[in-house]
Structure 1
Amino acid sequence: MKAIMYNRTGDSSVLELREKPLPEPGEGEVRVKVVVSGVNPTDWKARAGGTYGALDGWHVPNQDGAGIIDALGPAAPGASAEGTGLEPGQRVWLWDVAHGSSEGTAQEYAVVPLHKVVPLPEGVPFDVGASVGIPALTAHRALTVHDGAAARLAPGTLGDQVILVTGGAGAVGHAAIQLAKWAGATVIATVSGDAKAELARKAGADVVVNYKSQDVAEEVRRLAPDGVDLIVDVNAAANLEADLKVLKTGGTIAIYAANSSDEKLTVPVRQCMAKNARLQFILTYTVTDEQKTAAISAVTAALADDALGVGEEHGLPLTRFRLEDTAQAHDEVQQGTVGKVLIDVGE
């Protein structure tokens, strides 16, 4: 079987197309024929050395993907394979595959722990399944961190909330808009240009503010005089001053990204105190098992409701590569391409 592999960190030239034996699933594992692999910023950052440092052996990149179950490993003692709800031939989506493992989704077959294999609802394309992992699970956590929030989103759980999503044309911002709208919120999004504004509208944002040409605080306060309940923020270092101007007293700013590993955030303590503001930092890999389970359940329900579409018509353009061109796919994400980068692995 073909796989993209690397045994040292560095730029995308360390990625090699190699042949490897077809792996057998062990106890509590599933072998999935990967159809589409999704690429996220964390994938190229891990490859570049931001996660592993010096590598011990070969690694296959990419956390997210979608495909078809090919084989089930032996059930754990006292359990049955049938009890998992998974079976050969079933369409599934995958999350965090490469986290804590040397096996990612940039290969024809991936052996994955049972709990990271989720049935893909009927009619949902593999492209969508390969796009929801890190972005949608991160967005779900960001949308459930404020006081009194439901642990698991569902239609109506955000019905009285006004939410600001900064960077509404990014993958996490896109998922946050879609999930918030599915849960009933009013959503304001910020973007840097007209083309991105159109994408945020297609994702479902009620109002879009161009932060390059408009005063964000002034526009948001005009639209939400009482302030916003929650801010899902992609760049808190640049946005915090404006965020605090529009945040409702008792509101939360959910921060899920940084421009560099050593980026610093200067926090105006008095302003935060005056707002009783919560600054909640998020990394999807280190949330609790309960939080991850709730996110997976909610995202699957949203998929079944056709609430997480991808593609130009849904506000998330797709850029596609072949498996052998995975290095180019990583470079595309690193260069900040708008939309989602996917790798076509199988049929």
Structure 2
Amino acid sequence: MSTSIVASYSSVGSAAEVLSFSEQVRPTPQKGEVVVRIHASGINPSDVKKRSGWGSTMPPAQPIVPHSDGAGVVECVGAGVPEHWVGRRVWVFNAQGAASYGGSGPEAGTAATYSCLPLSHVVPLPDNVSFEVGACLGIPARTAHYVTFCDGPVAGKTLLVQGGAGAVGELAVQFAVAAGATVITTVSSPEKAEVARAAGAHHIINRKTEDVVKCVRSIAPQGVDRIIEVDFGANAAIDAAVLKLGGQIASYSSPSDRTPAIPYYPLQFTNAHIRLAPIFMISEGDSLRGLADINFALSMGQLRPTIAATFALREIADAHEAVEAPKQPGNVVCLV
């Protein structure tokens, strides 16, 4: 009988202290499920935050296998799943943790040899895309697609992508450029500027050394049509100052301030539309459109996530630390 090497944690804390390994029997797929032999497991900020106790310091009710995203090959299928899925290269999303954020999904993280998921969480991986890249798609690419297009087409519009070298921001830049938008983005270092430039950003602003509002207004005197926001708490005042009348802000995070103050009147007087984007809870229709567009962009070479580092699964603690204290821009992946 096949066995699975599984990384997990039973209490929250530092990666080196709480992550451990066990050997378990390979899961058996139930009706509508598939078992994926994981080859690459992507690590997102939400994964390390959950493990560290950012959302709650209470011990989990049962051991948690971390990581929502991954890629591999379908090993076997449950009842109701066509046999032609067996042997297919796939990428997977929402494998673990959606319930922690108010969404629905399995608790079958990808930091393991095998992961058992509903077929609805499994997507064919284009032949031209590596497992490592496939492991960087679930949260970053789906979020990037949603925040880029949730308020309609972007062709001919000017977008400000705050944090254009991040896992989501980089892909949002790529989506927007491919769709015909003019993209302004902010970064915090020359190294991140190179990532944003490679992604296709038309204008890059170093927020550490330049006046973001002044720079954006010099590029777009009437303001920007849309803003994709990585840190609403830190940037709300800037967003209000550069948004065009009737513009939209789509924010997917606020790490610097979990309960941010809102510059109400500056936003009101631009007739701003603010959308908060919980990727675990978007509609089925939005999700399916995103999956189709992501795979099309991958097949056309339009979506190219940067990978900063890869680690063996046994080095998962080091991998988590690399996400928490990055030495260079890009995604971190565990090879399984």
> TM > 0.5 between the two?
yes
Where does residue 36 of structure 1 map in the other structure? 40
Cα distance in 2 for partners of 1:195, 1:120 equals 29
Where does residue 103 of structure 2 map in the other structure? none
1:278-298 CA deviation, whole Å, 9 max, x = no partner?
121111112222222222222
Residue identity opposite 2:8 in structure 1:
M
Cα distance in 2 for partners of 1:27, 1:263 equals 39
* Structure 1 residue 229 corresponds to structure 2 residue 225: yes
Cα distance in 2 for partners of 1:200, 1:306 equals 16
Residue identity opposite 1:343 in structure 2:
C
Identity across aligned pairs (percent)?
A: 38
Cα distance in 2 for partners of 1:268, 1:340 equals 33
- Cα RMSD, aligned residues only: 1.6
The alignment partner of 2:31 has SS state of coil
Cα distance in 2 for partners of 1:258, 1:26 equals 38
Which blocks of at least 5 consecutive residues in structure 1 are unaligned? 150-156, 311-315
TM-score (norm 1): 0.89
Where does residue 14 of structure 2 map in the other structure? 11
1:46-85 alignment to 2 at 5 Å?
Answer: 46-51=50-55, 53-75=58-80, 81=82
1:211-246 CA deviation, whole Å, 9 max, x = no partner?
111111111111112211111111222222221221
* Structure 1 residue 264 corresponds to structure 2 residue 269: no
Contact 1:139 / 1:173 at 8 angstroms: preserved in 2?
yes
The alignment partner of 2:186 has SS state of strand
Contact 1:317 / 1:340 at 8 angstroms: preserved in 2?
yes
Where does residue 88 of structure 2 map in the other structure? 90
TM-score (norm 2): 0.92
Q: Which moved more, 1:41-50 or 1:182-191?
A: 41-50
Deviation at 1:268, TM superposition (A): 2.1
Contact 1:27 / 1:73 at 8 angstroms: preserved in 2?
yes
* Structure 1 residue 183 corresponds to structure 2 residue 179: yes
Cα distance in 2 for partners of 1:9, 1:103 equals 18
Residue identity opposite 2:334 in structure 1:
I
Q: Which moved more, 1:336-345 or 1:60-69?
A: 336-345
Contact 1:165 / 1:232 at 8 angstroms: preserved in 2?
yes
The alignment partner of 1:308 has SS state of coil
Cα distance in 1 for partners of 2:148, 2:176 equals 7
Where does residue 103 of structure 1 map in the other structure? 108
Contact 1:128 / 1:308 at 8 angstroms: preserved in 2?
no
Cα distance in 2 for partners of 1:295, 1:49 equals 30
Deviation at 1:330, TM superposition (A): 1.1
The alignment partner of 1:341 has SS state of strand
Please point out which of 164, 188, 195 is paired with 1:192.
Answer: 188
Deviation at 1:336, TM superposition (A): 4.0
The alignment partner of 1:7 has SS state of coil
Please point out which of 21, 25, 28 is paired with 1:21.
Answer: 25
Deviation at 1:51, TM superposition (A): 4.9
Which blocks of at least 5 consecutive residues in structure 2 are unaligned? 100-105
Residue identity opposite 2:88 in structure 1:
Q
The alignment partner of 2:149 has SS state of coil
The alignment partner of 1:103 has SS state of coil
